[in-house]
Amino acid sequence: MKPEDIKPWKIKRSEYLVKRPWLTARRDVVELPDGREIPEYYVLEYPDWVNVIAIDKAGRFIMEKQYRHGMQRMSYELPCGVMEKGETPLEAAKRELLEETGYTGGEWQLLMEAAPNPGSMSNMQHCFLATGVEPTGTQHLDATEDLAVFTATRDEVVEMMHDGRIFQALMLAPLYKYLYEMR
């Protein structure tokens, strides 16, 4: 089959199974281009997410460590979060950086956009690079957030990536892109 022969599926029916602020699950009945039907295809609907590779004026990466219950393990991460209704990706990224770390300012650019899991999730992740940030405030964490902020050198970030302390795909992808483009 050629790439141009691939066609989208048709949604025949949808039913919401769960509709909560942090979890919306939908069951679709879909028809494939060849006429076959899949009676149960599950989709998780999430708002878009943002993350930030934030680097301070000394060239150190602003990092976080927190517990992630889904994996039941500690995770080393970039500042990240959910876009709120009405926010642009850049507004959300700046808000998340301030709320989680107390850092602001600097020069901002969109580094990349990625689909977390397009086979079963409806959202995008917008990844930003912010250079020259500085601590100007204090953390304003959500009730479910319990995280520590620290800075790391480029070599320390690479070490955390290679030894598995940074293990989330949505953290690794922009870090690898940044490291590749800035070599």
DSSP alpha helix (H) spans, the chain: 89-101, 154-162, 169-181
Q: What is the pLDDT along the chain (183 residues), one digit of tens a residue?
A: 899 999 999 999 999 999 998 889 999 999 999 999 999 999 999 999 999 999 999 999 999 999 999 999 999 999 999 999 999 999 999 999 999 999 999 999 999 999 999 999 999 999 999 999 999 988 787 777 789 999 999 999 999 999 999 999 999 999 999 999 988
Spell 137-168 as b/e; 16+ CB within 10 A means b.
eeeeeeeeeebebebeeeebbeebbeeebbbb
Residue-range domain boundaries for the chain? 3-45, 49-181
* Threshold 0.75, pTM exceeds: yes
- Cα separation, 110 vs 80, whole angstroms: 14
The CATH code belonging to domain 49-181 is: 3.90.79.10
